[in-house]
Amino acid sequence: MSGTRLDRGLWMVLASPFDDALTLDTASLERQLVLADSVSAQGVVALGVFGEADALTRAEQQDVVRTVTGSSDLPVVLGLSARTTAVAVDQAVSCLEAAERQPRALMVQVHSPRADVLVQHFTAIHEATGLPVVVQDYPAASGVTVVADALVEAVRACDGFVAAVKAESAPTPPAIATLTAAVGAPVFGGLGGVGLVDELGCGAAGAMTGMSHPEGLRATLDAQASGGFAAAHAAWAPWLPLVTFEGQLKVGLAIRKEILRRRGVLATGRVRPPAAPLPPSLVPLLEQHLSHLPPTPGGDPWTSD
């Protein structure tokens, strides 16, 4: 069973990059894989909410899967944007047809407040694919709120094939504390890392999220492992203003993409409508945040001239 579980640490959620014509840009996707490897990520998550999976065609989703499984040796978790069981199974099978190697797990959203319905959903996806599932509790994306007891019941019932739980139902620290005390699977925080230090203090196994500078996530996780809360607090503090800036509702995705563009990781910062573009009024603030980041030894190797 231990082989089912995801490794503790950093699982970097990938953006789906687009060119100026809003066509999927696989070269920029490959550069994100290099970035993930450079910060010693345990693995990557593709087709997550940050990956704009709902804005991709089925063929584009397959291109993403083909790229992330064929261009890197990092373990891969694939997100399923569909919430109806039959559609989620169909999406999973389609994605796996394009995989160059087997993904580590499939990330499945909580789609019902009822434990029995969740068990049926997770089981059907596992049985159709043979893969473990990462249970994602993210009501802001799914529109579904589940009480802690029902989520614990569902995860326990599926313990043999649950690789992890991604807890993104605010407030996340008490949710993570409840889950880590009750289930065997590792529990990861997300939401851009806004609550990272508190989540780690409540037992989180790491961070599974998107951030323009995953170096900050890595430094904080390493600090927590070696020095506990105080060390994690000190390591994360210089990054937190940028994290809260990136975490703004509606425009956060465009902010992160633009910063990744400025780092030279993405060719453009474009998002697909109806996602909101970066407001011009925030550009001066973005530049100020970047000018106050902690120094990177040797400079930022990703920054374009």
CATH number for the domain spanning 36: value is: 3.20.20.70
Does any domain span residue 153?
yes
User: Using an 8 Å Cβ cutoff, are 181 and 161 in contact?
Assistant: no
Does any domain span residue 79?
yes
Does any domain span residue 83?
yes
Does any domain span residue 129?
yes
> What is the predicted pLDDT for the residue at 302?
67
Does any domain span residue 284?
no
Q: How far apart are CA 161 and CA 6, in angstroms?
A: 11
> What is the predicted pLDDT for the residue at 51?
87
Domain holding 183, by residue range, is 9-239
Does any domain span residue 276?
no
Q: What is the mean pLDDT of the chain?
A: 95
Give the global pTM.
Answer: 0.95
Retrieve residue 276's tokens: 């909101």
Does any domain span residue 263?
no
| Mean pLDDT value of segment 31-46 | 98
The residues near 151 (Cβ < 8 Å, ≥ 6 apart) are: 110, 115, 118, 135, 137, 165, 179
Place of tokens 């790229």: 67
User: Using an 8 Å Cβ cutoff, are 157 and 126 in contact?
Assistant: no
Does any domain span residue 260?
no
Chain segment 164-221, per-residue pLDDT in tens: 999 999 999 999 999 999 999 999 999 999 999 999 999 999 999 999 999 999 999 9
Count of structural domains within the chain: 1
